[in-house]
Amino acid sequence: MSHFNIKTLTFYGIAIGSVTLLFKVVTAYGETNLKAAPALAGSYSFDAKNLPECLKSDDLVLTIEQSGVYLSGNLKSNNNSVDRQKTNPEKPTLAGKWENQGLSLSGAVPNLTGCGKSTGDGSQNSLVKLRGVVEGESLKGKISLVENAVATDFMAQKVKKREQQPEQGH
């Protein structure tokens, strides 16, 4: 009795050939049609003159973290020392996604001066929606505060990371 009969060998040959062909088709499709999301992570400084009234006095910075198409981040005022102390950089307050060649982020942003509803602990929360596209080193789009529901155009420039200076000895 032989373990290598023609029916068994034919079955395994067809099965292996089918899997190989399917793998090649899926790989070819992926290489031609699927593109990774662009690298968006970093900090973007807003041009305040185009922002809603309550944000005009603030020097706003949007920090974006990225994991594939999923985005998270913080919108902070550099003018507000309370904001810098209370906003935990490890816990993003905005969440969103990269889709259809654009990004969308939304969430509650704490401590934007003059915006939002006051909470019981003396801080303020503003519900923010942000949609935009990245063009080179700039981010352009619309931002709206849910309280007034008016979307305003904005433009933000990517902030270059400062190169660390080597520490000098005594």
Give the tens place of pLDDT for each residue, 12-37. 999 999 999 999 999 999 999 887 77
Domain ranges of the chain: 1-34, 42-158
Residue-wise pLDDT for 57-101, tens only, equals 567 888 899 988 899 998 887 665 544 444 445 688 899 998 888
Binning pLDDT at 50, 70 and 90, where does residue 165 land? very low
Token pair in block for residue 154: 């904005």
By percentage, how much of the chain surpasses pLDDT 70? Answer: 69
Q: Is domain 42-158 given the CATH code 2.40.128.30 in the classification?
A: yes
Burial class from Cβ neighbours inside 10 Å (0-12, 13-18, 19+) for residue 81 reads exposed
Residue-wise pLDDT for 151-162, tens only, equals 888 888 888 876
